[in-house]
Amino acid sequence: MEDDQNEADKDDFAKRLQAARTEFQKMEEQTGRAAPSDKTDEGAIRSGRAGSELLGSIFAGALLGFLIDKVLPTAPWGLIGMMVLGMVSGVLRANAAMQKNNKNNS
């Protein structure tokens, strides 16, 4: 008896869900708006990539500068110089990533 009730509830839910989807599609057609697509997610991923490019370049420059300072008696200038170069490189790479993102979105 309980299984019959569960089946009835599932059928009722499926009908209401289908009705809601149909209504949503009608509203989209009337307003001329489409549902969000995967392209939005792709753009967000590319934007996140730009931030990763920036942070990764700064970190790589700092690590390389630290290693240079350990090998050569240049402390702290190796770290500072390579970190600055990492920042410049990161900004250039992030800019290129964002330009590619903008080109693909237009």
pLDDT digits (tens, 9 = 90+) for 31-76: 776 655 555 567 677 778 888 989 999 999 999 999 999 999 888 9
Expressed in angstroms, the distance from the first to the final Cα of the chain is 58
**Six token digits for residue 39:** 């392209």
Highest mean pLDDT among 11-15, 28-32, 39-43, 98-102: 11-15
Instruction: Specify burial of residue 82 (Cβ count, 10 A radius: 0-12, 13-18, 19+).
Output: buried
- Average of per-residue pLDDT across 73-97: 92
pLDDT at 97: 83
The pLDDT score that the predictor gives to residue 91 is 93
pTM: 0.56
Q: Rounded to 5 degrees, what angle do the CA atoms 30, 26, 44 make?
A: 80
From residue 37, how far is each of 40, 42, 43, 94 by CA, in Å? 6, 9, 11, 25
pLDDT at 6: 78
